[in-house]
Amino acid sequence: MNAALEFFANEGYDATSTSKIAKHAEVSEGLIFRHFGNKKGLLDAIYMQAEDRVKQLFGPILFCTDPLEVITRILDLPASLEEDQYDFWKLQFKLKWEVEYNNPDKMKPVLHKLSWAFSELGYEFPEREAKLLNTLLEALFLGILREGLLSQVDNIDYLKIKYKIKEIPVKAD
């Protein structure tokens, strides 16, 4: 699965042959089919980890009781991704184009929590603000996965200022 993930994420599912995966994983090609039934089964097995990983990533945030902390931690998430997980998330984002693998509901609890947070903070349109931030969050993830963490620190920083998490620096721009 690790070998497959690496290739699926970087070269694409269709561009990756089962033989390449088997060779890289140093197992026989037949074993892949014994375990996962077929190539798609292997992809699915990888994809299935998503729910867990999303929970792992966002779960703690759902228990925050301080609204500002919720937003802070949400904004800190993209930068907190460890590089050895990049491939996994890359693949998730690539798969999102296929309806079968695009499940917007996965983010519902987060969306809900954000809504609550903005509501607590007295925002006029907490749900809208939540949705917007959620949309933005995806863009931040994408940016980091594609072009590296550095490409998004500006945005994250600025968002923290906007959400009044961070003091406006005395001199900037």
Q: Which of 5, 9, 32, 95 binds DNA (CB under 7 A)?
A: 32
Of 103, 107, 116, 143, the residue at the interface with a second copy (CB under 8 A) is: 143
Binding region for DNA (CB under 7 A) out of 34-42, 45-53, 76-84, 147-155: 34-42
Q: Which does 72 bind (CB under 5 to 8 A by kind): DNA, a second copy, none?
A: none
* Site membership for DNA, residue 20 (CB under 7 A): yes
Q: How many residues bind DNA (CB under 7 A)?
A: 18
- CA-to-CA dists, residue 132 to 14, 126, 128, angstroms: 33, 10, 6
Among the residue ranges 9-17, 57-65, 130-138, 148-156, the one whose residues contact DNA (CB under 7 A): 9-17
3-state secondary structure the chain: CHHHHHHHHHHCCCCCCHHHHHHHHCCCHHHHHHHHCCHHHHHHHHHHHHHHHHHHHHHHHHCCCCHHHHHHHHHHHHHHCCHHHHHHHHHHHHHCCCHHHCCHHHHHHHHHHHHHHHHHCCCCCHHHHHHHHHHHHHHHHHHHHHHCCHHHHHHHHHHHHHCCCCCCCCCCC
Could you say which of 2, 11, 12, 19 contacts DNA (CB under 7 A)? 19
Residues at the interface with a second copy (CB under 8 A): 12-15, 90, 94, 96-97, 102, 104, 124-129, 131-132, 135-136, 138-140, 142-143, 146-147, 152, 154-155, 157-159, 161, 168, 172-173
Write out the residues near DNA by the rule CB under 7 A.
Answer: 14, 16-20, 27-35, 38-40
